Amino acid sequence: MTSSSFNYRAAFQLGHDYARYVADCLVDAGVKAELPPLEFAETEADRQRFTEHEKDVITAAGVLEIKSSSRVFGPKPFDYPHPSLIVDTLHGYVNKARKPVAYCIVSQATNAILVVPVSTQQFWRVEDIYDKQRLLTAEMLIADKQHLRSFSELVAWLKSKTALHPASMVKPSITT
């Protein structure tokens, strides 16, 4: 079995479904959120463009990157059962033209959402992690559990930024 047997199209669709879930949760909480349409990369140039410019969920305070996890956890940071978590690939993060303001991690088992503010990036570390689905090793950005925030904290932060700059699309950071 090779990495080419990984179903990227299905993975992108699943990721988009979780991005829609987070956008819907934000709207339900009173935060304006936009979900860009799902696109598939057909060429290497498309993949490079997506890496640089893809935005999972857009808010007035900035872009949110959405990641789903097979891990079981609840809505509070102390519910997360591990000492650390994968935030993103180093390659994906470094090559983004516009960095997200936060990563939302959604439990596929519970639909709970936890948040890693990009303002904590200085505390992240890089580890080589073997991806059993794609059958490859990648440099991954790892954050310790102490940097997790709840979805309700993200909502409050987004509302505070929107109240200060309603039409703004600036790139602030969630403070810890």
Rounded Cα gap, residues 169 and 62, in angstroms: 6
What per-residue confidence (pLDDT) applies to 27?
Answer: 96
Is pLDDT of 83 > 50? yes
Average pLDDT, the chain: 85
Q: How far is CA 78 from CA 75, 85, 95, 146, 172, in A?
A: 9, 13, 31, 8, 25
Q: What integer pLDDT is reported at residue 40 of this predicted model?
A: 64
Q: What is the pLDDT of residue 169?
A: 38
Of the pLDDT bands very low, low, confident and very high (cuts 50, 70, 90), residue 54 is confident
pLDDT over threshold 60, residue 2 = no
The per-residue pLDDT for 87 is: 96
Would the pLDDT of 175 be above 90?
A: no
Torsion of CA 116, 29, 65, 97, to 10 degrees: -110
Confidence of residue 156 (pLDDT cuts 50, 70, 90): very high
Distances in whole angstroms, Cα of residue 68 to Cα of each of 1, 15, 92, 95, 137: 24, 7, 16, 20, 19
Residue 96 has pLDDT above 60, yes or no: yes
Across 122-131, average pLDDT: 95
| H or E element, residue 163 | helix 151-164
Specify the pLDDT at position 164. Answer: 59
pLDDT at 53: 55
Domain 3-163 has CATH 3.40.1350.10: yes
- Cα distance between residue 19 and residue 41, in whole Å: 18
Residue 61 near residue 157 (C-beta atoms within 8 A): yes
| Identity of residue 21 | Y
The domain locations on the chain are 3-163
pLDDT confidence of residue 162? 78
Give residue 50's pLDDT band: very low, low, confident or very high (50, 70, 90). Answer: low
Six-digit token pair at 19? 């991005």
Global confidence as pTM: 0.84
